[in-house]
Amino acid sequence: MNKQEIYNKTDSTLEIGIWDINLKNNTVLWDTKTKDIFEVPEDFVPDFKNSLFFFNRKNLIQFKTLIQKAIENRIPIYGKFQIITAKKTIKHLECICQVEFIANNIHRIYGTFKDITIEQERIIALEYTAEKFPLIFPSTNDTIENLNLLSLVASETTDSIIITDSEGKAIWANQAYMTLTDLTLEEIIGQEPNYTSIGLKTNREKIKKIQKALKNKEETKVVFQNYNKQKEKYWLELNITPVFDKDGNCSKFIAIGRDVTATKEKEIELKHLLEVTSQQNNKLLDFAHIVSHNIRSHASNLAMVVDVIEHTDDAIEKLSFIDMFKEGTEKLSETIENLNEMITIKKNVNLKKTIINLKTEIEKLSEPLKNQIAITHTISDDLTLNVIQAYLDNILQNLLSNAIKYKSPNRVPQLEISHETKDGFHIISFKDNGLGINIERNKRKLFGMYKTFHGNEDAKGIGLFIVKNQMEVMKGKIEVESEEGLGSTFKLYFNEK
């Protein structure tokens, strides 16, 4: 399935459209939702020319400026502009633009579109209402009347609305806001809107962005994970707009929020799907290359030996090539076994995990090696891992034997094993004082199949490749830190989430 097919299969109920400009093959891709936003037929094929028809000069400059900022800053950039659809409808869009670089060259430009036309019109209407019916915080009959008028305007919307004074203290909220936060109006008035909504997964940078906007009396928009009174999580899209009096002083803020949990979860799911698809495609290409290169190489060698045998009449010479033929078949068989093992690892994603005491396992595997290397560890007696035992044994055996295989001739070999926890992972580190690896020169070869670094005769380049795949099957990962001539530290991340 190609990328366009994946886009076309995207759930059409999503509010976010996806676009992709691939500069390598000069193609432009729109998913079904983007085509819906631009009101073009499903079979419409965008390109560099026809996709510009939907922008007037001003908005085309805004879009190009957005792309330029994403290129210069190398981070996702957010912006708003208008388009004129194929049916001559004027729409307000918000866009997130991101640029992908390969070898410091722009490979693709991609992002999202969202139709915010109704939202923008609602904001304009509410600002107009707030201006016509200003909320004066002291308790007067006029204040109650104006609150009732604004409540009438906002009562039919499903978006949550909260109004604060110039200091950010709440003075009014609609029913949708109370439903979303599970707070009563008495609990809201006089408080900062975020006094119950910040939790462990709330993005602190987004909160700082809101605080900065309030301080500078500026409009801002954020999407972040929020919490209601019961500490239940939801994704909130929040627009904050300052309201100024006739003298230019900020008198209040209007915040319009929307629960976008379903959309955000779909977006995360889609992103994960695209990442998994990309990873699987890359692995498939790597595997196909390995199969093509290695098996073809062995087959070619065998064919050459057979050809020599067939074209010589000297019986002694024929016999001399038998050993070469035997060696070639053994290498071919070994390659096929390695490839088969990798397929087996990838297929066995549902193998049963068991609870293993790590200290016991390490000491059991280290015992036969104690005369070849000094092994120390700080693994606690009660540390256990939920793993596939056969995989754990193979992983530990590889790292222990590699510390010996690649020891430095200039010093007594040592290996230190330690443990820490971070971000839901048990991290087991294997630090040796061996030959080390030039990471910069070999970063593309690390954990690759049949990739070696030191020219050892017994090095096959398969061990770390298998270790990496076994860790990934167990939802973990392996990383390495190394300096040539000083040693290496391999870190195993066991997923405990």
Domain region containing 371: 350-497
Q: pLDDT category, 152, cuts 50, 70, 90? A: low
Cα separation, 422 vs 426, in Å, equals: 7
Backbone dihedral angles phi then psi of residue 225, each to the nearest 5 degrees = -85, 130
Statement to judge: residues 291 and 412 lie in one domain: no
End-to-end Cα spacing for the chain: 31
Query: Are 196 and 294 in the same domain?
Result: no
**Alpha carbons 38 and 130: distance in angstroms, whole number:** 33
CATH at 99? 3.30.450.20
State phi, psi for 195 to the nearest 5 degrees: -70, -20
Does pLDDT of 440 surpass 80? Answer: no
Which residue's entry shows tokens 């936060």?
181
Least confident of 20-24, 273-277, 287-291, 441-445: 287-291
Instruction: Name the strand (E) or helix (H) holding 108.
Output: strand 105-115
Contact indicator for 416, 426 with CB cutoff of 8 Å: no
Q: Whose CA is closest to 230, among 197, 279, 266, 277?
A: 197
C-alpha to C-alpha distance for 85 and 17, rounded to whole angstroms: 14
CA dist 148 → 122, 124, 163 (Å): 18, 19, 13
- 392 and 470 in a single domain? The answer is yes
Residues 309 and 364 in one domain: no
Are residues 47 and 32 located together in one domain of the fold? Answer: yes
Count: domains in the chain? 4
Backbone φ and ψ for 161, nearest 5 degrees, come out as -130, 130
Q: Which of 115, 136, 158 is the last residue of a domain?
A: 115
Percent with pLDDT over 90 in the chain: 14
- Give the 3-state DSSP-derived string for the chain, with helices as H, strands as E and coil as C: CCHHHHHHCCCCCCCEEEEEEECCCCEEEECHHHHHHCCCCCCCCCCCCHHHCCCCHHHHHHHHHHHHHHHHHCCCEEEEEEEECCCCCEEEEEEEEEEEEECCEEEEEEEEEEECHHHHHHHHHHHHHHHHCCCCCCCCHHHHHHHHHHHHHHCCCCCEEEEEECCCCEEEECHHHHHHHCCCHHHHCCCCCCCCCCCCCCCHHHHHHHHHHHHHCCCEEEEEEEECCCCCEEEEEEEEEEEECCCCCEEEEEEEEEECHHHHHHHHHHHHHHHHHHHHHHHHHHHHHHHHHHHHHHHHHHHHHHHHHHCCCCHHHHHHCHHHHHHHHHHHHHHHHHHHHHHHHHHCCCCCCEEEEHHHHHHHHHHHHCCCCEEEECCCCCCEEEECHHHHHHHHHHHHHHHHHCCCCCCCCEEEEEEEEECCEEEEEEEECCCCCCHHHHCCCCCCCCCCCCCCCCCCCCHHHHHHHHHHHCCCEEEEEEECCCEEEEEEEEECC
Q: Looking at the structure, do residues 383 and 468 belong to the same domain, yes or no?
A: yes
- The mean per-residue pLDDT over the stretch 202-222 comes to 85
Residues 439-446: what's their mean pLDDT?
68
- In terms of domains, do 219 and 284 share one? no
Mean pLDDT, to the nearest integer, of 122-139? 49
User: Per residue in 356-376, pLDDT tens?
Assistant: 999 999 998 888 888 889 999
Cα distance between residue 478 and residue 493, in whole Å: 6
Q: What is the CATH number of the domain that holds 366?
A: 3.30.565.10
> Are 139 and 187 within one domain?
yes
Kindly state the DSSP code that residue 135 receives in the 8-state scheme.
P
d(CA 12, CA 34): 10
pLDDT of residue 37: 92
SS3 29: strand
173-210 confidence digits (pLDDT tens): 888 888 888 888 778 888 888 766 777 777 788 888 88
Summarize the confidence of residues 383-393 as an average pLDDT. Answer: 87
Residue the block writes with tokens 């799907």: 273
pLDDT in tens, 318-343: 777 777 777 777 767 766 666 666 66
Task: Say if residue 4's pLDDT is above 50.
Answer: no
State which of 230, 259, 288 marks the end of a domain: 259
**Full DSSP string of 234-265:** EEEEEEEEEEE-TTS-EEEEEEEEEE-HHHHH
Answer yes or no: do 67 and 142 share one domain: no
Q: Same domain for 248 and 268?
A: no
Q: What secondary structure does DSSP assign to 35-76, as a single string?
A: HHHTT--TT----TTGGGTT--HHHHHHHHHHHHHHHHH-S-
Alpha carbon distance 422, 420 (integer Å): 7
Residues 313 and 238 both lie in one domain = no
Mean pLDDT of the chain: 78
Asked whether residue 355 falls in the same domain as residue 462, the answer is yes
When pLDDT is cut at 50, 70 and 90, the band that residue 132 belongs to is very low
pLDDT at 470 over 50: yes
For the entire predicted model, the pTM comes to 0.39
The CA distance from 451 to 455, in Å, is 10
CA dihedral 127, 128, 129, 135 (to 10 degrees): 60
List, in order, residues 6 or more apart from 210 with CB less than 8 Å away: 194, 220, 222, 238, 240
Instruction: Mark which of 347, 382, 417 sits at the end of a domain.
Output: 347
